[in-house]
Amino acid sequence: MHSKTDLLIVAATWLTISLALVSCSGAGSQVETAQATPVPMHEAAALNQNPAEPQSRISGTLVVEDQVDVEALRDGVVTTVAADVDTAVRKGQLLATLDDRQITADRDAAAARVAEYESDLKNWEAEVKVLDSDRERADKMWEAQLITKEQVDHIRYNLEADKFQTQSAQHKLDNARDVLKSLDLECEKTRIRAPFDGVVARRYIRVGQRLAVGDRTFWVTSVSPLLVRFTVPAQSAGRLHRGAFIDVTGETNATAHQAKIVSLSPVVDPASSTVEAEAQIEGSPGELRPGLTVNITLRER
């Protein structure tokens, strides 16, 4: 059997080991706690000794002010196509025509009706002049007691009646002219024309195709002035102002083009912390075309 002294020694040894384990566990927890504690924001800002410099090279998109899909203004079948992709056009130039036989016939009938009412109006105006002369003569004869008062009144009533007929003829003529003008506009709608100087970028129609009102026919775009739209970080916006110049280069061409700032947004987009700007390419655009993505270099003020 073990002696009482041996048992005390064993117990003391186990107690020493347990205390050591507890001490190590506490120290490990303190280390983990120290590692998990976040660094305060002001201390983190102090650690950033080299903040990023404002960007001076950004990208943008080339655009033009006038770009539009020319839509059909009336139903009809395409009879001719006078322009295709890459055709340079002038404002009002004919691009295509629709079948206009029915509307032209209606227009010709309206023109004939206008001519008829014009003749009718001239006839009534001449009749009024004749009756007006008769009235003057009747007044003089009445003063000379050569005719009765009833004869004078009869001439006057006929004159008033013809004046009303003249007014009615004038109204009919005005209405007929309005109808003719409306049909002229409908005839013009069968001619699809360029809305401004530019170039045909797309053609959506072909001969024989039936169109409805609002269908796209051509995409016409202007070629100048060429603009570049871009955004700059808010911290770089101070380097720009209306009238300032930037350098624009294509993605595959090192030729630099000068552009002048023509608009600069006065507010910052809160979602992206950027400011929108627009610049106009100076001189010949060279290889630059609308729709291209270009590189923009801001100049030092």
Six token digits for residue 262? 């023509």
Cβ burial 169-202 (10 Å sphere, 16+ → b, else e):
beebbeebbebbeebeebeebbbbbbbebbbbbe
Q: Is residue 168 pLDDT above 80, yes or no?
A: yes
pLDDT number for residue 124: 92
Distance between CA atoms of 296 and 278, rounded to whole angstroms? Answer: 11
Give Cα separations from 209 to 51, 72, 83, 218 (angstroms).
62, 12, 16, 14
Dig out the tokens for 156 from the structure: 């006057």
Q: How does residue 290 score in pLDDT terms, banded at 50, 70 and 90?
A: confident
The 3-state DSSP class for residue 63 equals strand
Query: What is residue 289's predicted lDDT score, i.e. its pLDDT?
Result: 84
E strands, 46-197, where? 57-64, 67-71, 76-81, 88-89, 94-98, 191-193
pLDDT of 1 strictly over 90: no
Domain boundaries, the chain: 4-45, 57-66+222-298, 100-189
Residue 176 pLDDT class (50, 70, 90 cuts): very high
CATH number among 2.60.40.10, 2.60.40.1120, 3.40.50.880, 2.40.30.170, domain 57-66+222-298: 2.40.30.170
pLDDT interval class at 34 (50, 70, 90): very low
Mean pLDDT of the chain: 83
Handedness of CA 18, 24, 30, 35 (dihedral sign): negative
